[in-house]
């Protein structure tokens, strides 16, 4: 949060392109350092509902992202670059909150007996080769999801302006609607995965957007707004499911796995934005969306993933034959 705070203040006062890039990089570093350890804390606080906890954690970022275009349209654009400094107060507040969270985590993590007992049950029944193959498939799903999301995050406003001649402010509102749908999808995907299983959520999420993505480049403004909300809602439901599924593949490595997949997701989004921007310059933004419409086809690889874990509903309906304190605590 300290790196984010400094980055925001630099963004507000940047007078040259190199300073602007450095400031953005500082914000990115703050986000990158924060996410893996925050995922560990969220999992520790989950009470066994790992999908719900991961969704609640990630939806905070999605809500912030969805508010970004609105704040840009109604604060930054009319008031200028220096108004970005106001948002550094959010980072300062987060530092205060995280101080309390860190103390709680230290107290919870201090119990070696409990931690050891918890970790002793975390073993994967899959071979290393199967785990590696499954992780590679998850990488492909992250690639598909990140590239398609980057096409909307980075170019949706330009697409609306160039094709439908809407104003910058109106385009930002459409982007807000999409990002709000992403936040809602992220929140829904985790608890649904707890109930029906992560693999089903992945299957529905990434393949489910295919028909909507295919027709998006050919509809009018009204249906463009509707379809992007549907796409954001469905596609984002895979966000927490991918992380939690990966943690079940490689149990006991929360920080490593979360860092790997968050880093891959952020990195793919950045590379995707650059690659798609170059493609848009060489062709057109309309062509970018026509090409990206086929990315969800990679979701078909989900069928090759192993079925791991059991939906929470299945565990709840299992007969209980032993009434002990240990059973209750689980």
pLDDT digits (tens, 9 = 90+) for 295-316: 999 888 998 999 875 554 444 4
DSSP single-letter state for residue 74:
I
The whole-number average pLDDT for the span 245-273 is: 85
The alpha carbon of 193 is separated from its chain's Cα centroid by a whole number of angstroms, namely 15
CATH topology of domain 50-79+127-308: Growth Hormone; Chain: A; (1.20.1250)
For residue range 34-91, list pLDDT tens digits in order: 888 888 888 888 888 888 888 888 888 778 777 877 787 788 878 788 888 888 888 8
The share of the chain scoring above pLDDT 90, in percent, equals 30
The whole-number average pLDDT for the span 115-121 is: 45
- Contact status, residue 246 vs residue 257, Cβ threshold 8 Å: yes
- Contact status, residue 298 vs residue 173, Cβ threshold 8 Å: no
pLDDT surpassing 60 at residue 197 = yes
Residue 137: partners with Cβ closer than 8 Å, 6 or more residues away: 301, 302, 304, 305
pLDDT at 228: 95
Q: Report the chain's C-alpha Rg in angstroms.
A: 21
Measured CA to CA in angstroms, residue 310 lies from 158, 179, 197, 247, 313 at distances of: 44, 31, 6, 14, 8
Sequence-ordered alpha helix ranges (H) in 72-127: 77-79, 88-109, 112-120
DSSP notation for 34-64: HHHHHHHHHHHTSTT-HHHHHHHHHHHHHHH
**Entry pTM:** 0.72
pLDDT at 115: 43
Query: For residue 306, how many other CB atoms are within 10 A of its CB?
Result: 14
First to last CA, the chain: 34
pLDDT at 315: 43
- Averaged confidence pLDDT in the chain: 83
Q: Which of 88-92, 107-111, 223-227, 280-284 has the lowest mean pLDDT?
A: 107-111
């Amino acid at each position: 949060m300290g790196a984010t705070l400094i980055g925001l203040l630099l963004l507000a006062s940047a007078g040259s392109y190199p300073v602007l890039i450095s400031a953005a990089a500082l914000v990115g570093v703050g986000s990158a350092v924060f996410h893996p350890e925050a995922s560990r804390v969220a999992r520790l606080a989950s009470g066994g509902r790992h999908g719900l906890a991961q969704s609640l954690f990630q939806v905070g970022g999605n809500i912030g992202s969805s508010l970004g275009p609105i704040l840009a349209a109604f604060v930054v654009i009319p008031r200028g670059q220096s108004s970005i400094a106001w948002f550094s107060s959010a980072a300062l507040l987060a530092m205060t909150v995280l101080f309390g969270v860190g103390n709680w985590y230290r107290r919870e993590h201090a119990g070696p007996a409990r931690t050891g007992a918890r970790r002793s049950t975390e073993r994967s029944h899959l071979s290393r080769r199967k785990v590696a193959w499954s992780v590679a498939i998850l990488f492909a799903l992250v690639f598909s999801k990140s590239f398609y999301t980057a096409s909307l995050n980075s170019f949706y406003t330009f697409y609306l302006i160039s094709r439908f001649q809407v104003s910058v402010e109106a385009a930002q509102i459409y982007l807000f609607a999409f990002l709000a749908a992403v936040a809602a999808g992220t929140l829904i995907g985790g608890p649904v995965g707890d109930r029906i299983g992560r693999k089903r959520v992945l299957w529905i999420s990434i393949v489910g957007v295919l028909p909507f993505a295919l027709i998006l480049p050919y509809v009018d403004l009204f249906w463009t707004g509707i379809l992007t909300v549907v796409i954001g809602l469905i596609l984002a439901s895979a966000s927490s499911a991918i992380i939690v599924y990966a943690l079940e593949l490689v149990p006991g490595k929360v920080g490593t796995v979360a860092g790997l997949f968050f880093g891959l997701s952020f990195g793919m989004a950045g590379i995707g934005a650059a690659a798609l921007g170059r493609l848009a310059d060489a062709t057109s933004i309309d062509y970018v969306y026509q090409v990206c419409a086929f990315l969800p086809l990679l979701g078909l690889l989900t069928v090759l993933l192993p079925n791991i874990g059991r939906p929470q509903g299945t565990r709840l309906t299992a007969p209980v034959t032993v009434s002990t304190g240990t059973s209750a605590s689980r």
